Amino acid sequence: MSFLTPLALLSALVVGPLIVAMYLLKLRREELRVSSTFLWQRMVRDVEANAPWQRLRRNWLLFLQLLLLLLLAIALARPFLLTTGISGRNLIIIIDRSASMAATDVPPSRLEAARRQAQTLVDQLPEGGRATIIAIGGQMDVLAASTTDRRQMYDAIRATTLSIGGRGDLSQALALATALAAREPDSEVAIISDGNVETPTDIRVPATVRYFPIGQRAENVAISAMALQPTPAGQTLFVQVSGYGPAPVSRRLDLYLDGALFNAYELNLGPDGTPDAVQTVIVDIPAQARVAEARLSPAPNDDFLPSDDRAWAVSSTGAGMEVRIVGPGNRFLETALSLLPGITATKTTTTTVSGDTAPQVTIFDRVVPEALPTGNLLFIAPMRSTPLFSVTGMVEFPLLRPAPIVIEGQAPPLLRNVSVSEVNVLRAMRIETGVWARALVEGDGSPMLLAGEREGRRIVILAFALQDSDLPLQVAFPLLISNIIGYLAPGSGLEASQIAPGQPLVVAVDPAATAVRVVRPDGRVDAAQIQGGQAIYADTDALGPYLIEQVRDNQAVEQRRFAINLFAPEESRIAPSGELRVPQVSGLQQAVTREQVGRQELWRWLAAAAILIVLIEWLVYQRSSLAYLRQRVRLALAARRHPA
């Protein structure tokens, strides 16, 4: 144990002798009846003249007062114990709230353990210390910004709730922490996570970064994929189950159709990384089934993440979406769209389109209209500028490569399973956009593929014509078109009606519809926002099937189902990481873990003990009065029991 202000202990050496001296000088007289005071007067004068200091007698009040002095002196010296924690005055806490933090290997959950750790770090802040609370997992949230109010810190920590809408990404949080730490010299960054996060490589934090790992076990079994596809004879259900634990396990998979049990399967899964770690079930189901559900049987000791033990798939039979192609004609594009289930492609050569009848997605192939229609847009080799972007020239033989943001692992789903390094391009347009779009593929310093949102709709720009490249001959081409359509119209493409948690639901709205309502998995009914001929619903954190109804005159005229599942191997693989790579200005490349630098101060406990001693001293000093009062109470009770 050490002290922050050890000189405060000198107060006990100064005040203690004074208290003892007051007891030595105190006159102690005992009342006695004597026949005469004549014989006592001379003796009293001699004692008072020759003995100014009385003999120190045993006294409980003296003992309690000295103990009180000792406690207060030690409390003023601020004793502390070294613990695993922080030592700075400006603390930046980053709490991981992604899906893997729902694991129950640390009761009741990893997220609750992370909250407790964050509260411990706040307790270790010195008086006047500041703290910033940041939550990652999906969209980053700043819950408390550079505050000295501990109540606000605790409220922010308690307000941290689970978010399954995306993997934990430290990029934005560390960028903000870097800016905050640059202004405060005595800063520290604390990352509380299970380690299943993405870390940036181009950020060097100008402060010590400490990592507090959460989690102990790796056992988990998840439903990693599920799809329902129409066939001539009905529908085919595909379910994939993956084991992420270090040992083989056996689980039962139950399949339900529209809430009724359909079948059950016994699965034997091998350890993670082995061929037997993934098992698939393919079964034909009736055409009239609308919602299929898969459930894994409970296994508390072999599965510590229950949120990926259930999955849903919805029927797309009878559901379709129109995609309009505006241009001179493109067989490559038409063929790729025809491979996507539920997609109907219509062609037109005129650029004059009606805004009232515009579909959810419009593709402009080498043409640009005078007025842009409603809905989401895909531009392929635009020949002139629009209010959304500017065409400033042409690039000859660009060498395609992923943009830096893609290399860092932050790309949106547009480039999933797509490689552009082997694509050769003859010429491309040089395009400049505002901050609304970000480049996903670059070529000689010019963006080749851009995506973003502007005025409530999604826009994708491909800078080169398909005929001026060998992209249509690559395996990546149908995947890229599927990803683009899936981005412009969520719930379409090769993964029809499958939406990632946190991704908004977007459907084209019939002009005759007066409202759009959403029936959530828990049965709650919400209203969707209608904007630009589309219905948008963003509150999609809950897993399960969603039903979107277009209403006219209080009657549902069209229905569309979506399923939201946690198909995220990086979150289902819950094995905690003991190290976290975070480059720092000091030269450290790893976040510091388990270092005894935190201070657990004890003065609050000593102050509480001092208050208790004061109460005991008062009771001892008033013992005569209390005894008298107790006697009177007894007499009163006795008189009441035996009245005269």
The band of 444, judged by pLDDT with boundaries at 50, 70 and 90, is confident
Q: What are 34-72's pLDDT values in tens digits?
A: 776 666 666 565 555 445 555 556 677 777 777 877 878
- Is 518 domain-assigned? yes
Residues 412 and 338 occupy one common structural domain: yes
Q: Is 50 exceeded by the pLDDT of residue 209? A: yes
Q: How far apart are CA 535 and CA 516, in angstroms?
A: 7
Residues 90 and 206 occupy one common structural domain: yes
CA distances from 196 to 135, 214, 268, 431, 577 (A): 14, 10, 26, 37, 7
Q: Is 90 exceeded by the pLDDT of residue 191? A: yes
Provide mean pLDDT across the span 157-166.
Answer: 88
Q: What is the pLDDT of residue 553?
A: 82
Q: What is the pLDDT of residue 510?
A: 77
Q: What is the pLDDT of residue 282?
A: 94
Question: What is the residue whose two structure tokens read 């954190």?
Answer: 541
Provide mean pLDDT across the span 321-331.
Answer: 88
Q: How far apart are CA 285 and CA 262, in angstroms?
A: 9
Residues 328 and 415 occupy one common structural domain: yes
Q: How far apart are CA 289 and CA 257, in angstroms?
A: 6
The band of 488, judged by pLDDT with boundaries at 50, 70 and 90, is confident
The band of 408, judged by pLDDT with boundaries at 50, 70 and 90, is very low
* Amino acid at residue number 234: G
Both tokens assigned to 358 = 């515009």
579 HSE (CA, 13 A, CB side) = 5
The gap between the terminal CA atoms of the chain, to the nearest Å, is: 66
Residues 290 and 325 occupy one common structural domain: no
Both tokens assigned to 481 = 């078109």
Which residue, among 559, 324, 361, has the nearest Cα to 457 in the 3D structure? Answer: 361
Q: How far apart are CA 572 and CA 223, in angstroms?
A: 9
Among the three residues 258, 287, 309, which one is the final residue of a domain in this structure?
Answer: 309
- Is 70 domain-assigned? yes
Q: What are 122-149's pLDDT values in tens digits?
A: 988 888 889 999 999 888 999 999 899 9
Supply the CATH number for residue 144's domain.
3.40.50.410
Q: Is 70 exceeded by the pLDDT of residue 84? A: no
- State whether residue 327 is helix, strand or coil: coil
Q: Is 70 exceeded by the pLDDT of residue 333? A: yes
Residues 462 and 333 occupy one common structural domain: yes
Contacts of 114 (CB under 8 A, 6+ apart): 95, 96, 97, 101, 160, 192, 193, 214
Find residue 530's DSSP bridge partners.
535
* Whether the Cβ atoms of residue 582 and residue 199 lie closer than 8 Å to each other: yes
Q: How many C-beta neighbours within 10 Å does residue 182 have?
A: 13
Q: How far apart are CA 209 and CA 189, in angstroms?
A: 5
**Domain ranges, residue 242:** 221-309
361-365 and 376-380 strand pairing: parallel
Q: Is 80 exceeded by the pLDDT of residue 405? A: no
Q: What is the pLDDT of residue 50?
A: 47
- Is 156 domain-assigned? yes
Which residue, among 136, 142, 115, 157, has the nearest Cα to 200 in the 3D structure? Answer: 136
Q: Is 60 exceeded by the pLDDT of residue 28? A: no
Q: How far apart are CA 448 and CA 378, in angstroms?
A: 13
The band of 409, judged by pLDDT with boundaries at 50, 70 and 90, is very low
Q: Give how far the C-alpha of residue 425 lies from the chain's centroid of Cα atoms, to the nearest Å.
A: 41
CA distances from 221 to 81, 389, 572 (A): 42, 47, 8
Question: What is the residue whose two structure tokens read 């119209």?
Answer: 489
Residues 210 and 225 occupy one common structural domain: no
| DSSP annotation of 206 | S
Q: For the chain, give the mean pLDDT.
A: 83
Q: How far apart are CA 533 and CA 642, in angstroms?
A: 92
Q: How far apart are CA 344 and CA 361, in angstroms?
A: 11
Q: Which residues of 328-340 are buried (b: 16+ CB within 10 A; e: fewer)?
A: eebebbeebbeeb
Q: Is 80 exceeded by the pLDDT of residue 224? A: yes
* Whether the Cβ atoms of residue 450 and residue 430 lie closer than 8 Å to each other: no
Q: What are 512-565's pLDDT values in tens digits?
A: 788 899 999 999 999 998 877 778 888 888 999 999 998 988 888 888 888 999
Question: What is the residue whose two structure tokens read 């490589």?
Answer: 201
Contacts of 288 (CB under 8 A, 6+ apart): none
Supply the CATH number for residue 325's domain.
3.40.50.880
Q: What angle do CA 467, 473, 475 make, to 5 degrees?
A: 135
- Is 315 domain-assigned? no
Residues 378 and 421 occupy one common structural domain: yes
Q: What is the pLDDT of residue 38?
A: 66
Q: How far apart are CA 371 and CA 269, in angstroms?
A: 56
Q: What is the pLDDT of residue 136?
A: 93
* Whether the Cβ atoms of residue 243 and residue 269 lie closer than 8 Å to each other: yes
Q: How far apart are CA 472 and CA 271, in angstroms?
A: 39
Residues 423 and 476 occupy one common structural domain: yes
Backbone angles phi, psi at 590, to 5 degrees: -120, 145
Q: How far apart are CA 535 and CA 507, in angstroms?
A: 5
- Is 609 domain-assigned? no
Residues 420 and 540 occupy one common structural domain: no
Among the three residues 426, 454, 488, which one is the final residue of a domain in this structure?
Answer: 488
Residues 69 and 123 occupy one common structural domain: no
Assessment of whether the complete model's pTM goes beyond 0.75 = no
Q: What are 365-389's pLDDT values in tens digits?
A: 999 988 888 788 999 999 999 989 9
Extended beta strands in 106-233, E state: 130-136, 141-147, 168-169, 187-193, 197-198, 208-213, 221-231
Q: What is the pLDDT of residue 185?
A: 81
Q: What is the pLDDT of residue 371?
A: 85
Number of structural domains found in the chain: 5
Both tokens assigned to 110 = 């990893």
Q: What is the pLDDT of residue 606?
A: 79
| DSSP annotation of 474 | S
Cα radius of gyration (the chain): 37
Q: What is the pLDDT of residue 407?
A: 45
Q: Which residues of 198-235 are buried (b: 16+ CB within 10 A; e: fewer)?
A: ebbeeebbbbbbbbbbbbebbbbbbbbbbbbebeeeeb
- Is 22 domain-assigned? yes
Q: What is the pLDDT of residue 398?
A: 92
Supply the CATH number for residue 543's domain.
2.60.40.10
Contacts of 55 (CB under 8 A, 6+ apart): none
Residues 186 and 236 occupy one common structural domain: no
The band of 575, judged by pLDDT with boundaries at 50, 70 and 90, is very high
Supply the CATH number for residue 305's domain.
2.60.40.3230
DSSP code string of 235-262: EEEEEEEEE-SSS-EEEEEEEEETTEEE
- Is 570 domain-assigned? no
Q: How far apart are CA 358 and CA 373, in angstroms?
A: 6
The band of 619, judged by pLDDT with boundaries at 50, 70 and 90, is confident
Among the three residues 488, 517, 543, which one is the final residue of a domain in this structure?
Answer: 488
- Is 163 domain-assigned? yes
Residues 390 and 458 occupy one common structural domain: yes
Q: How far apart are CA 116 and CA 213, in angstroms?
A: 13
Q: How far apart are CA 633 and CA 153, in angstroms?
A: 51
